[in-house]
A and B are shown apart, each in its own frame.
Chain A
Amino acid sequence: MIQALNNTLFRRLGDGVFVTMIASILAFLYLPVIVLIVFSFNDSSSLTLPLSGFTWKWYQSVFANEDLLRALRNSFYVASLATVLTLVIGVPAAFALDRLNFPGKTLFRRLVLLPLVLPGIITGISMLNLFKLMGFSLSLETVIIGHATALLSVVVTQVFARLQRLSRSYEEAAADLGARPWETFFLVILPNIRSAMIGSALLSFTLSFDEIPVTFFLTGRDNTLPMYIWSTMRRGLTPEINAVGTLIIAASLVLIVLSVSLLKADDER
């Protein structure tokens, strides 16, 4: 009796401890985000409590800030082109790694996947060296090449995983029916790896949009959005950054929902 009571008490206590723990971890993750959002609507230029009243003015100043809007456009330009490049290079690379044998394959695999595990600063300075040596001047285009190189690994790993699960019998059937290799590739394989491609494209777009370490070394006069925000926040903190941040979080939420539903579509296959 006492033993049983002890056991339930113990379990209750244990569960209580766990629930508190989970709640505090979630608080650790989300309270700061709430703080960021709340201060983007706070009518005071200092980020201190108590709150002083509601305002839209930080959002208005964001949309009136020409430098910021230019940086935003630059980021869209860089992230879009970098994503296209990662797909154009990454999908054939994943395909070659999965289905082809060629000398130096192991070295090729290691090289392509290396930026996934290496700190961004290594990719950044190594490409800075190259561009300086070749006499290129730094610009948004060098940033695009840098991002594409760093994020190639994201596309390759995702598409490679999908290709490995793809049964070879489709391709055999296509070949038996007289399809040429490139027809098989475009009409049979590509449609089957579409969700992996879209998913990894979304991921590399997001990562490129947010990238700093590589951009830091490869950009010229033009700034991307994170670089612009960073240079602003090194001068001082303003609620305007909170407003930009809140907008970025809203955009991220849309992307999360998109990618989760894409993953689900993939599971139902």
Chain B
Amino acid sequence: MKGFRLDRLPGLAVLSAPLVWAVLFLFIPYLIIFTYSFWLKKYPTFIPAFQFGNYAQIFADPQYYQVLLRTGKIALMVTALSLLLAYPFAYFLVFKVKSSRVRSLLYMAVIAPLWVSYLLRAYIWKTILGSEGVLNSFLVWTGILSAPTDLLLYNQFSMVVTLTYIFIPFMVMPIFTALEKIPRNLVEAAGDLGVTPWGALAKVIWPLSLPGVIAGATFTFCLTFGDFIAPMLVGGPDGVMIANVITSQYGAALNWPLGSALAVVLLIIVLIIIELSDRLQRKDRIGLG
């Protein structure tokens, strides 16, 4: 029995605007990207064609596949660093903090930066790490360094620090939720059976929190993978990521077909990761009964 029966006409009225919007501004644009990815660049614009040259170029020209590999590497490093920081934090909040007020306050403290402009959070690190920046001037002022170093900014190190700073809330949220769902008596039972706290962490808490870890890792990885603002601000020549290459194909290089093919590759990678993570989380749930 359906609780709410919409007559045919109101149903259509409710649906029509969202449906038209989804077709016009989502379905058709994705279709256009996909179509363009097979077209040919012909100065000054491009012409319809059906050929795989753009894709072949991405996987044959080191300039492109190396950017893909580098993007993957940076996204992995950001994910790993975020996990390393977020997990102990969430664990401490859920299992060590006794007062629920302190707990929600500390949780909010980690989530709150999400509301502060993304751009600002990237900008802050530019001012801190630059050779004329806060950290350098501090180190020189206190005499730790005799002259400013330019090792801090415009490299993969500054990219990983900045992106971790920006995306770490997305790691903390699902892990915190997963840890909160673990029944306390399971942890207590492990203690009663003589398992050390570290043993309980390894054998009870960690496996049960895996869905949260997977969700957080997926968010962090995908968000980093498609970013092009942070690389422009704090990444140097070896910090160029896939989205930057797409931007330049759509901009100065004026090769929309190649840009579209790169976008399709980016889209497919992200969708595969999301699908895999979905399956892993589902498998985990079933595995635990």
A210 near B118 with CB under 8 A, answer: yes
How close is B99's CB to chain A, nearest CB, in angstroms?
Answer: 14
B132 near A48 with CB under 8 A, answer: yes
Closest residue of chain A to B259 (Cβ to Cβ) is A125
B89 near A48 with CB under 8 A, answer: no
**How big is chain A's contact interface, by range?**
35 or more
A28 near B22 with CB under 8 A, answer: no
Using A120-B226, A206-B115 as known contacts, say yes or no to A99 and B4 having CB atoms under 8 A apart: yes
Query: Is A237 part of the binding interface, using a Cβ–Cβ cutoff of 8 Å?
Result: yes
Indicate with 1 or 0, residue by residue over A102-126, a CB within 8 angstroms of chain B CB atoms. Answer: 1000001001101101111110011
Q: Which one of A19-27, A55-63, A66-74, A190-198 is at the B interface?
A: A19-27
B165 near A47 with CB under 8 A, answer: no
Using A121-B226, A168-B3, A249-B120 as known contacts, say yes or no to A92 and B17 having CB atoms under 8 A apart: yes
The residue from A22, A126, A252 contacting B116, defined by CB atoms under 8 A apart: A252
Query: Is B48 part of the binding interface, using a Cβ–Cβ cutoff of 8 Å?
Result: no
Judged by DSSP, the binding face of B is: helix
> For A50, A121, A234, which residue has the most chain B Cβ atoms within 10 angstroms?
A121
Query: Is A136 part of the binding interface, using a Cβ–Cβ cutoff of 8 Å?
Result: no
Query: Is A127 part of the binding interface, using a Cβ–Cβ cutoff of 8 Å?
Result: yes
A152 vs B267: C-alpha distance in the bound complex, in angstroms? 19
User: Which chain B residues lie closer than 8 Å to A14 at the CB level?
Assistant: 197
B108 near A260 with CB under 8 A, answer: yes
How close is B270's CB to chain A, nearest CB, in angstroms?
Answer: 6
Closest residue of chain A to B27 (Cβ to Cβ) is A111
A32 near B267 with CB under 8 A, answer: no
User: Which chain A residues lie closer than 8 Å to B133 at the CB level?
Assistant: 47-48
Query: Is A230 part of the binding interface, using a Cβ–Cβ cutoff of 8 Å?
Result: yes
Closest residue of chain B to A22 (Cβ to Cβ) is B92
A217 near B119 with CB under 8 A, answer: no
Judged by DSSP, the binding face of A is: helix
B123 near A126 with CB under 8 A, answer: no
How close is A111's CB to chain B, nearest CB, in angstroms?
Answer: 5
B229 near A213 with CB under 8 A, answer: yes
B21 near A122 with CB under 8 A, answer: no
The residue from B7, B29, B96, B247 contacting A130, defined by CB atoms under 8 A apart: B29
A241 near B123 with CB under 8 A, answer: yes
How close is A146's CB to chain B, nearest CB, in angstroms?
Answer: 8
Closest residue of chain B to A172 (Cβ to Cβ) is B3
* Selected A-B contacts with CB under 8 Å, 24 pairs: A14-B197, A28-B85, A35-B134, A36-B124, A39-B134, A49-B138, A49-B141, A50-B137, A89-B21, A93-B18, A96-B18, A112-B26, A118-B270, A119-B222, A125-B259, A129-B32, A130-B24, A169-B3, A206-B115, A213-B228, A229-B123, A230-B119, A233-B123, A259-B115
Known: A125-B250, A133-B32, A175-B5. 5 other contacts (CB 8 A): A50-B141, A88-B17, A111-B22, A118-B267, A241-B123
State the 4 A-B residue pairs at the shortest beta-carbon distance, nearest first: A119-B226, A168-B3, A48-B137, A126-B29
